[in-house]
Amino acid sequence: MAESVYKTRGYVNENEHEDSRQPLTEEEWSELQEIILSLKPARGTTTILQSSQLLLRDFFAAWMKCKYRSAAVKSDLALELVKNMNQREKARVNKKGEKNVAFSILLPGVQGGNSTGP
């Protein structure tokens, strides 16, 4: 949705004198663009994760790519996303220290350990 709003920038700027509403400032347009760039890796990952033929290795690859691509953006929003992804991974380590990351991330009700399901 934010991308759709940003695409109207030219039209909005050209017609601002015909509209009584206050147009967005340059700072607001920049913030909107930053939001779009920050969420772009997550948007692509969401599409991949919705695949009906998703394998565990595909999940891990998409998750890691999203983290690295988000970190590369270096905006506050993108770095907060990476921070939350890291916290989610760390929260999913069972008592023996073995990671059940993929299983527990896919099924958030699983708390690690010897759980057999949500």
Per-residue pLDDT 10s for the chain (118 aa) are 777 777 676 676 666 666 556 677 888 888 888 999 999 999 999 988 888 888 878 888 898 999 999 999 989 999 999 999 888 877 666 545 555 555 555 555 544 444 444 3
* Cα Rg, the chain, nearest whole Å: 20
% helix, strand, coil for the chain, step of 5: 65, 0, 30
As a whole number of angstroms, the distance between CA 98 and CA 101 comes to 9
Identify the three-state secondary structure at position 107.
Answer: coil
